Amino acid sequence: MTLFKTFFIGGFECATHYARHGRRLDLLAATQHDRYAVKDYERLQEYGILTVREGIRWHLIESRPGQYEFDLVLSRIRAAREMGMQVIWDLLHFGYPDGLDLFSPAFVRRFAAFAREFMQVLKSETDAVPFVTPINEISFLAYQGGEVGTINPFTMGRGNELKAQLVRATLESMEAMWDVAPETRFVLVDPLFNAVAEDGDPGQVERARAYSHARYQAWDMIAGDLHPELGGARKYLDIIGVDYYPWNQWIYVSDREAGRSLGREDPRHVPLHQLLAQVH
């Protein structure tokens, strides 16, 4: 028995964060997938692809605290059901409602409540086993938004604090969704990267290695192996997903500054299959 309907999975970019220019992105709207989901699914099915990742845009669904409008996602839920598509739903893809402080207890409560509401809607529309990514790329959001301030929430030096907070919200949301649909599966996605030292200096080599191993921290927190006070446990570490890009290997300079990218011809470049083996 296979986990997903098809080996290859389609993906629709669904980021909704604020970037440095102060404008919120909405890439589902920018690509018009929100309007043409049926045609997009048809194109995938031409190539035998029946599994996709989608986003549901929390900031549009809950524009006012505690008031939910799921009309914008219902059409895709129904299209997927009718066309036999299997969807992995992203609940928070870097963006969240205006006026919400990610570092506050209110964030954890509201995200869990939002996740519960979504699952109730989803289960009212389909009998399929739900697949959900609660928070996409916890490590990326914690670093870019909390450590170096390039995206929301635009804070500096609080990356570890934000990572822990995102894990709290993930765990609370998973419990909320399991209350509605105990069969729900969770796809926990983080970036896969590799940093190496410029030279053989033992201190720099060790710092680069420690930085590379930070790729496991969010999963370890969810599993309860790191910072168990957050409430993590092995039952939460379900399906591991990794994102990997051509620039995901580089010369380590510092925890806040990446050096030049490593080309595949560089002997320090680690092949993707070996990185995946390391994650395993």
Structure tokens at 278: 């390391």
**Angle, alpha carbons 96-102-105 (nearest 5°):** 120
* 60 vs 21 pLDDT, higher one: 60
CA angle 99, 230, 225 (to 5 degrees): 135
Question: Above 90 in pLDDT, residue 259?
Answer: no
234 or 258: whose pLDDT is higher?
A: 234
Task: List the end-to-end C-alpha distance of the chain, in Å, as a whole number.
Answer: 20
pLDDT score for 254: 86
- Is residue 258's pLDDT more than 90? no
Domain borders along the chain are: 9-191
Lowest mean pLDDT: which of 113-127, 151-165, 244-258?
244-258
> What's the pLDDT at 200?
78
pLDDT given for residue 98 in this prediction? 97
The class that CATH gives domain 9-191 is alpha beta
Which residues are within 8 A (CB) of 43 and not within 5 positions of it... i.e. 6 or more apart?
Answer: none
Q: Cα torsion for 60, 66, 71, 75, to the nearest 10°?
A: 90
Residue range 179-204: mean pLDDT, rounded: 93
Which is nearest to 54 in space by CA: 77, 21, 81?
77
Contact status, residue 227 vs residue 221, Cβ threshold 8 Å: yes
Query: What pLDDT shows up at residue 243?
Result: 94
Nearest by Cα to 259 from 209, 190, 198 = 198
Q: What's the CA angle centered on 139, arms 177 and 200, to 5 degrees?
A: 150
- Residues 276 and 139: their CA atoms lie apart, in Å, by 17
Q: Summarize pLDDT for 127-173 with one digit per residue, the tens.
A: 999 999 999 999 999 999 999 999 999 999 999 999 999 999 999 99
Average pLDDT over residues 56-79: 96
Is it the case that residue 1 has pLDDT exceeding 80? no
